[in-house]
């Protein structure tokens, strides 16, 4: 069974658990997706818990940058961005990725928005 979660602080407002549970059910996958309150000061211990007990987690504010040095491997894209939002636990190793930029670019392409040079993005998410 897949054990998954989103980590952040605060996290009680997150819609991620409902969205991911729906996705698991729709795909016929056995698993759970929870929300774990994780202030910065407990991030290291929480990631050790993830290493032992979870298949993967998503990270939101304020953890995306702070997690980088605590992981065993970080993708080149996440290193370039300076943040991870997805952590997989594979054979005792924590692997970090950032899916924000590829997801954003895919949404632009799907919407027929041409990618022609510099852009300014206003606003910020978690």
- Place 118 in a pLDDT band, splitting at 50, 70 and 90: confident
Q: List the domain range (segments joined by +) for residue 86.
A: 2-110
Residue 123 in domain: no
Q: What is the pLDDT of residue 103?
A: 84
Contact 46, 66 (CB under 8 A): no
Provide the β-strand partners of residue 73: 95
Contact 7, 60 (CB under 8 A): yes
Please write the tens of the pLDDT for every residue from 49-106. Answer: 999 999 999 999 899 999 999 999 999 999 999 999 999 999 999 999 999 888 888 8
Residue 120 in domain: no
* pLDDT cut 90: percent of the chain above it: 80
64 belongs to the catalytic site: yes
Please give the tally of structural domains in the chain: 1
Residue 64 in domain: yes
Instruction: Name the residue among 59, 109, 49 with its Cα closest to residue 83.
Output: 59
Residue 115 in domain: no
Catalytic member of 8, 58, 64, 71: 64
**CA dist 52 to 15, 25, 109, Å?**
25, 24, 38
d(CA 64, CA 57): 12
Residue 65 in domain: yes
CATH number at residue 51: 3.40.50.10860
Question: Whole-prediction pTM value?
Answer: 0.87
Residue 18 in domain: yes
Residue 117 in domain: no
Residue 60 in domain: yes
Q: What is the pLDDT of residue 47?
A: 99
């Amino acid at each position: 069974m897949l054990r998954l979660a989103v980590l952040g602080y605060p996290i009680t407002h997150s819609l991620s658990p409902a969205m991911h549970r729906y996705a698991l059910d729709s795909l016929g996958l056995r698993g759970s997706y929870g929300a774990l309150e994780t202030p910065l000061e407990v991030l290291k211990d929480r990631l050790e818990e993830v290493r032992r007990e979870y298949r993967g987690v998503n990270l939101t504010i304020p953890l995306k940058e702070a997690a980088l040095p605590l992981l065993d491997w970080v993708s080149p894209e996440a290193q370039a961005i300076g943040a991870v939002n997805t952590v997989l636990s594979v054979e005792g190793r924590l692997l970090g990725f950032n899916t924000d930029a590829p997801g954003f670019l895919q949404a632009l392409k799907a919407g027929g928005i041409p990618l022609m040079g510099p852009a300014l993005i206003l606003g910020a998410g978690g």
